[in-house]
Each structure stands twice: as structure tokens, then as C-alpha cells.
């Protein structure tokens, strides 16, 4: 059985002290343990950014790819070896900016992937420009007079695009975030988990204090029922809660649906798995060596 110590790497993260990425990393490791997964069964694909360094510091298989491109890599891994548990990780710039097209198509295909998006509402790695989820009016290096665009709404995006597990967590509530990621890992289908992840260095608006005074968990709200495909009223309520912003901001599981994942209906995968093709049929040694 996997223990947290099994996921410890030889080196430790070098994020800014207090960065929300520490909470996300701890939740990812905790979720892997709680889901009962072996380290050899898990692959984490990431893009480029502060939080995209997580594969360096979780001891399982990992691949750090191009900015905004964790999902194409995760898709290839999952289709090549469907028995693996595949997770993608990246920031709001990766997921809702450069990788928006990949995200929408991955959700509508219902790929069996868990995507954790560290949403700090700023471009932290490049020292503080506005991101796709920055609030309208926020002043940053790239918007000195205030952002004029409305932010992307991840919950409504997931509902409109066909994700079958849609959740929002907060890096300042580790037990709750861990349970959401665990649920995503166990879910068969595309799990979108948006995570409020305060950037303590460059985002002076959406701080821990900001979220601590506003967030509430849907699981503690007896009037809320997790939406599914057969309940249009609950789906409308999930959408309404996803738009709730201001003095109260909900976190938790908004929507869950059971339907065949992409790999379940792919004809070629019903015959065999690409990973089982004998090496003598396809020589991949040159390709492998280029990544080593």
C-alpha cells in the first residue's frame, strides 16, 4: 500500500514561501494515497509554470511538456496504456489560456483524465501579468489601468463542454481539496478540478485572507444537490453557484455524470493496447533516447 513517504522525492520544491502550490502538491500526494494507487500506476503530465513543476516533486511517472499542452501528452499516455491513472496539472494560463482548445475538446471527448488547474488568477512565473481568470479591473504589469476583459468561468466552461466531474477546491483547505482530487482520480471520465491557489508574491488581491473570508463548501450546504445529467434543475443550480462571486464563493463538487469514457468506445482499444505492441514491430529507441 502506498504511503506518503513513497511519494517523497530527493529534492524539495523551491516555490515562494507560502505559495498555494505547496497545498496543491500535498493534496495531490494525499489523493494518490487515499485512492489506493501504486506509484507505478500514476503519470502526471504538466505544462510550463510555477505549479507545472509538481511532477518534479511527486515520486511517480511524470512528463513536463510545452506551455499549455499538458492534455495532448496526457491523452497520448492514456490511450497508449489505458491501465494507467493519468493526471494533468498546470496553471490558469496553461488551462484557460494557451491550452483552452485542448481543454474543451478533452472535456467533450470525456477522456479518462483528471486535470488539476492551479488558478492563482495571475501569471506568476512571468512576474505578474493578467491571466484568463483575473478579475475585471485588476491592475497588473500588463494592465496598469485595469483589466478590461471579463474572466473565464471554469465551472460554466466545464458544464458547457461535457466534463463529467466538475469541482473547485482551495489550496488553503487541504482535507477538502484532497478529497476532491481523490474523487477525480476514482472517477471514470474527464475530471476538471479548478483550484484557488494564492500567489503570495504577485497577486495582492486574491490572497489567503480574501478566500478565507469568502469560501464555503457545497458539501456543508444542505440545500445543494450535486448535479447530474438527469436533473436539469440541479444543473441550473450548479451553473448559478458557479457564477456566485463576491462575499460568498462556493468550493466543492458541482457536477458528476457517469457515461462511457473516450477509451471505452474507441474500437482499436477494444482489440488491444498500443503499449502491448511488440518492440520489434515499432522501433521507438531513437525517440526514447531523445527524451532522456
Tell me: pLDDT of 5 over 70: yes
Q: What average pLDDT score do residues 49-70 get?
A: 92
Which residue in 149, 150, 147 sits closest to 128, CA to CA? 147
Query: Which band of pLDDT confidence, cut at 50, 70 and 90, is reported for residue 281?
Result: low
CA dist., res. 177 & res. 135, Å (int):
23
Percent of all residues in the chain with a pLDDT value above 70, rounded to a whole number = 98
User: Contact at 8 Å (CB) between 185 and 31?
Assistant: yes
Could you read off the pLDDT of 234-249 as tens digits, one per residue? 999 999 999 999 999 9
pLDDT higher for 165 or 286? 165
Mean pLDDT of the chain: 94
**Helix %, strand %, coil % of the chain (to 5):** 40, 15, 45
pLDDT of residue 230: 86
Q: At what angle do helices 100-109 and 154-161 cross, to 10 degrees?
A: 50
pLDDT of residue 150: 95
Quick one: 6 exposed, middle or buried, by C-beta within 10 A (0-12, 13-18, 19+)?
Answer: middle
Q: Where are the domains of the chain?
A: 4-264
> Looking at the domain 4-264, which fold is it?
Rossmann fold (3.40.50)
CA dist., res. 152 & res. 132, Å (int):
6
C-alpha pair distances (Å), 226 with each of 62, 133, 208, 221: 32, 24, 26, 11
pLDDT of residue 276: 77
pLDDT of residue 279: 61
Tell me: pLDDT of 138 over 70: yes
Q: At what angle do helices 21-34 and 174-186 cross, to 10 degrees?
A: 50
Q: What average pLDDT score do residues 170-193 get?
A: 98
pLDDT of residue 56: 94
Could you read off the pLDDT of 141-159 as tens digits, one per residue? 999 999 999 999 999 999 9
E-strand stretches of the chain: 42-46, 61-64, 85-91, 114-119, 165-170, 191-196, 215-217, 249-256
Amino acid at each position: 500500500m502506498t504511503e506518503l513517504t513513497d511519494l517523497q522525492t530527493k529534492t524539495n520544491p523551491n516555490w515562494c514561501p507560502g505559495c498555494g502550490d505547496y497545498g496543491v502538491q500535498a493534496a495531490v500526494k494525499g489523493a494518490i494515497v487515499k485512492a489506493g494507487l501504486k506509484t507505478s500506476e500514476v503519470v502526471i503530465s504538466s505544462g510550463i509554470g510555477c505549479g507545472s513543476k509538481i511532477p518534479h516533486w511527486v515520486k511517480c511517472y511524470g512528463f513536463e511538456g510545452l506551455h499549455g499542452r499538458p492534455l495532448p501528452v496526457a491523452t497520448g499516455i492514456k490511450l497508449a496504456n489505458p491501465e494507467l491513472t493519468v493526471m494533468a496539472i498546470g496553471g490558469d494560463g496553461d488551462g484557460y489560456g494557451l491550452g483552452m482548445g485542448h481543454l474543451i475538446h478533452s472535456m467533450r471527448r470525456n477522456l479518462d483524465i483528471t486535470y488539476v488547474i492551479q488558478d492563482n488568477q495571475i501569471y506568476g512565473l512571468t512576474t505578474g501579468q493578467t491571466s484568463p481568470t483575473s478579475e475585471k479591473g485588476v491592475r497588473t504589469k500588463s494592465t496598469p489601468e485595469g483589466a478590461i476583459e471579463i474572466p473565464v468561468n471554469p465551472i460554466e466552461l466545464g458544464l458547457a463542454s461535457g466534463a463529467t466531474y466538475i469541482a473547485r477546491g482551495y489550496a488553503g483547505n487541504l482535507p477538502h481539496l484532497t478529497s476532491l482530487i481523490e474523487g477525480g482520480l476514482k472517477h471514470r471520465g474527464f475530471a476538471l478540478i479548478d483550484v484557488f491557489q494564492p500567489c503570495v508574491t504577485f497577486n495582492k488581491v486574491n490572497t489567503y485572507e480574501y478566500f478565507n473570508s469568502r469560501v464555503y463548501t457545497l458539501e456543508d450546504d444542505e440545500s445543494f444537490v450535486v448535479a447530474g445529467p438527469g436533473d436539469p434543475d440541479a444543473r441550473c443550480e450548479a451553473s448559478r453557484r458557479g457564477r456566485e462571486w463576491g462575499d460568498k464563493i462556493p468550493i466543492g463538487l458541482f457536477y458528476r455524470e457517469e457515461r462511457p469514457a473516450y477509451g471505452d468506445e474507441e474500437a482499436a482499444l477494444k482489440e488491444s493496447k498500443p503499449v502491448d505492441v511488440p518492440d520489434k514491430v515499432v522501433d521507438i529507441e531513437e525517440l526514447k533516447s531523445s527524451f532522456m
